Amino acid sequence: MIKFEGVSKTYGGFKAVDDVSFVAEAGRVTGFLGPNGAGKSTSMRIMVGLTPPDRGTSTIGGHNYADIPNPGRHVGVLLDASAQHAGRTGREVLALSALTMGLPESRVDEMLTLVGLTENESGRRVRNYSLGMRQRLGLANALIGDPSVLILDEPANGLDPAGIHWMRTLLRGYAERGGTVLLSSHLLHEVEMIADELVLIGRGRIVAQGTKAELLQTAGTFVKAESPEKLTAALGEAGIKASASGDGGFRAEVDPIDVGRVAAAAGVVLMELKPAEGAGLEELFLELTADDAREPVGTTGTTQQGAPA
């Protein structure tokens, strides 16, 4: 379990992490989601003791990271897949970690197999690796000590859809066996696919957190009428706010039965009436981070946060 309590970190006048508190539970995959520069990487560096926080505490399983002996055996860390010596072979990168942790050389082969790097690929130097291969190597490096906690910064970055699917299966299985997984991403769809719990961060602050289901839940009704004008007029008279929601339909922040009653009383023919579907995390993400994003949101809908699936 990873616990962050009131953690802040300021660089000059810039608040990289601002009073952040959250918990990543064991047995769950927690997604740490936010636009670039939101403070995800700084938070993760604080977790593993590479950056001292100005305020607050960060513990893993109740310990400060620095107090965990041979930490690679307990916490698997992948902070930057590119932070590997370009002149080493993939196999050598893992062999160095195995040697540090006191693991047998056979563990290297197991990890290479697990992440799908072939014998040939493992003998190549890291400078010749694609980003996707570096991510696989980085994941192997994080998993080699058989840790019970995983901290992964943008692990899906550079993976193809099949790779992301593979990672989902791997991390799900890992969490189901009781492991704690915290992974960050600036791409919503990656996190939506992999995580159970979400922590949304923007400009160093947490803007929302909860289970995926909780965050997806939106109250309200989607309604579509034969005559949209009559419907809006009737709803307006009844004091129900409705907003256009594509396809000539409307969204109202009340239950379907209330909209149905108003429509029936006004004699408006309805074509559709249903609870509003989850707007999708995409909308939520854009909405929550709109103030914090670097680009204005709303003009093209989905700009930098990744195209809809």
The structure tokens listed for 283 are 């909308």
CB 54 to another protein: min, Å = 12
Q: Select 18 or 80, whichever has its Cβ closest to another protein.
A: 80
Q: How far apart are CA 156 and CA 184, in angstroms?
A: 9
CB 89 to another protein: min, Å = 8
CB 6 to another protein: min, Å = 18
Q: Select 68 or 191, whichever has its Cβ closest to another protein.
A: 68
Q: Which residues bind another protein (CB under 8 A)?
A: 1, 25-27, 45, 48-51, 60-63, 65-75, 77, 79-80, 82-88, 92, 96-97, 99-102, 141, 146, 148-149, 176-179
Closest listed residue to residue 204, CA positions, set 24, 60, 4: 4
Q: Select 141 or 209, whichever has its Cβ closest to another protein.
A: 141
CB 191 to another protein: min, Å = 22
Burial 193-232 (b: 16+ CB within 10 A, else e): bbbbbbbbbbbbbbbbbeebeebbeeebbbbbbeebeebb
CB 48 to another protein: min, Å = 5
Q: Select 95 or 288, whichever has its Cβ closest to another protein.
A: 95
Residue 15: CA atoms inside 13 Å, Cβ hemisphere, count?
14
Q: Select 88 or 224, whichever has its Cβ closest to another protein.
A: 88
Spatial contact of 38 and 204, defined as CB atoms under 8 Å apart? yes
Round the CA-based radius of gyration of the chain to a whole number and report it.
24
CB 37 to another protein: min, Å = 12
Burial of 2 (0-12, 13-18, 19+ CB in 10 A): buried
Q: Select 77 or 201, whichever has its Cβ closest to another protein.
A: 77
